[in-house]
Amino acid sequence: MMLDWTRIDTVLLDMDGTLLDLNFDNYFWLEYLPLRYAQENRMALEQAKKLIQQKTFALEGTLEWYSTTYWTQALGIDVVALKHEVRHRVTEMPYCHDFLDGLKAAQKNIVMVTNAHHDSLNLKMDKTGMAHKFDRLITVHEFALPKENILCWSEVQKIHPFNPARTLLIDDNLNVLKSAEKYGIAHLVAIYQPDSQAPKKDVEHFQAIHTFDEILPVIKSDRPG
Ligand SMILES: [Mg+2]
């Protein structure tokens, strides 16, 4: 897949499942949290898994679903502390740092826009040391609208203005890509395999990448000849 980098000024990047392997989050929510919840509540693991899956399924795509504050209250267990227990599992996608460095060298505006809560964002930035590679880090909890909601993008505009016609969004969530598409963001890229341990996804009508080396920006040499 080729992107025309001469037509792109701003790059909006998702975090989980895009820059970082979604396997951390899937492992946390499907395995580790149920395990620790079962221990704390002296409950069978299968029962804890079922209970947590029911509660999370009902809220998928909402702001609460992404909120560590909400889940800490709803489950009566410190979700942030538990994430710290397994933070060594946070892993960058292949060529993630090369891609960010390439964007910087090509003088693009680099903005993280994540549905993740501040706690999760901080934990992942600490583990990966990539925060300084962005012009701006935005979590939608600043204005309480998930990226699935088209109104989210005008809130992002207020914090960090961008021209939708000259903007690229890379995100593994198809509902997010659809809301950005409706808003008028011209360049959209999905991720085939957000979780390295799970099968490839159907990306519908979106163009998509396996790894970031497929879309490294070409840097114009300023040397004569
Ligand atoms: Mg994502």
pLDDT digits 0-9 by tens, 189-213: 999 999 999 999 999 999 999 999 9
Ramachandran angles phi, psi of 107, nearest 5°: 60, 40
At residue 216, φ and ψ (nearest 5 deg) are -55, 130
Instruction: Give the DSSP per-residue string, 177-201.
Output: HHHHHHHT--EEEEES-SSTTSPPP
Please give the distance, rounded to the nearest whole angstrom, from the Cα atom of residue 92 to the centre of ligand 1: 13
Give the dihedral sign, CA 207/212/213/216: positive
163 CA → ligand 1 middle, Å = 22
1 has a pLDDT exceeding 80: no
Q: Supply the pTM of this predicted model.
A: 0.95
**How close is the Cα of 176 to the center of ligand 1, in Å?**
9
C-alpha 202, offset from chain centre: 18
Average pLDDT over the chain reads: 95
Give 174 Cα–ligand 1 centroid separation in angstroms. Answer: 9
Cα(15) to centroid(ligand 1), Å: 6
Q: Quick one: what percent of the chain has pLDDT higher than 70?
A: 96
Number of domains in the chain: 2
pLDDT class for 218, splitting at 50, 70, 90?
confident
Q: Are residues 13 and 52 both part of a single domain?
A: no
Distance 18 CA to ligand 1 centre (A): 6
In a domain, 43, yes or no: yes
pLDDT at position 148 is 95
142 in the same domain as 63: no
| Centroid of ligand 1 to alpha carbon of 16 (angstroms) | 4
112-147 pLDDT, tens digit each: 999 999 999 999 999 999 999 999 999 999 999 999
Distance CA(111)–CA(16), nearest Å, equals: 14
Does residue 225 carry a pLDDT above 50?
A: no
With both helix axes pointing from N to C terminus, report the angle between 45-57 and 33-40 in degrees, rounded to the nearest 10.
Answer: 120
Are 11 and 104 found together in one domain? yes
Q: How far is Cα 185 from Cα 168, in angstroms, rounded to an integer?
A: 7
Q: What is the distance in A from the centroid of ligand 1 to the CA of 42?
A: 33
CA dihedral 50, 53, 54, 55 (to 10 degrees): 120
Residue 85 Cα to ligand 1 midpoint, Å, equals 22
Q: Are residues 81 and 97 in the same domain?
A: no
| Contact call for residues 110 and 137 (beta carbons, < 8 A) | no
- Do 14 and 48 fall into the same domain? no
In whole angstroms, give the CA distance from residue 127 to residue 20: 11
Residue 221: inside a domain, yes or no?
no
- On whether both 114 and 43 belong to a single domain, the answer is no
Residues 177 and 199 in one domain: yes
- The domain boundary residue, chosen from 88, 118, 141: 88
Residue 38 alpha carbon to ligand 1 centre in Å? 27
Q: Give dist(CA 147, CA 140) in Å, integer.
A: 7
152 and 190 inside one domain: yes
C-alpha to C-alpha distance for 97 and 133, rounded to whole angstroms: 9
Q: Are residues 54 and 107 in the same domain?
A: no
Distance 17 CA to ligand 1 centre (A): 4
Last residue of a domain, one of 46, 71, 88: 88
Neighbours of ion ligand 1 (CB under 5 A): 14, 16-17, 172
Structural domain of 37 = 24-88
Distances (CA, A) of 144 to 140, 152, 207: 6, 8, 29
CATH number of the domain encompassing residue 117: 3.40.50.1000
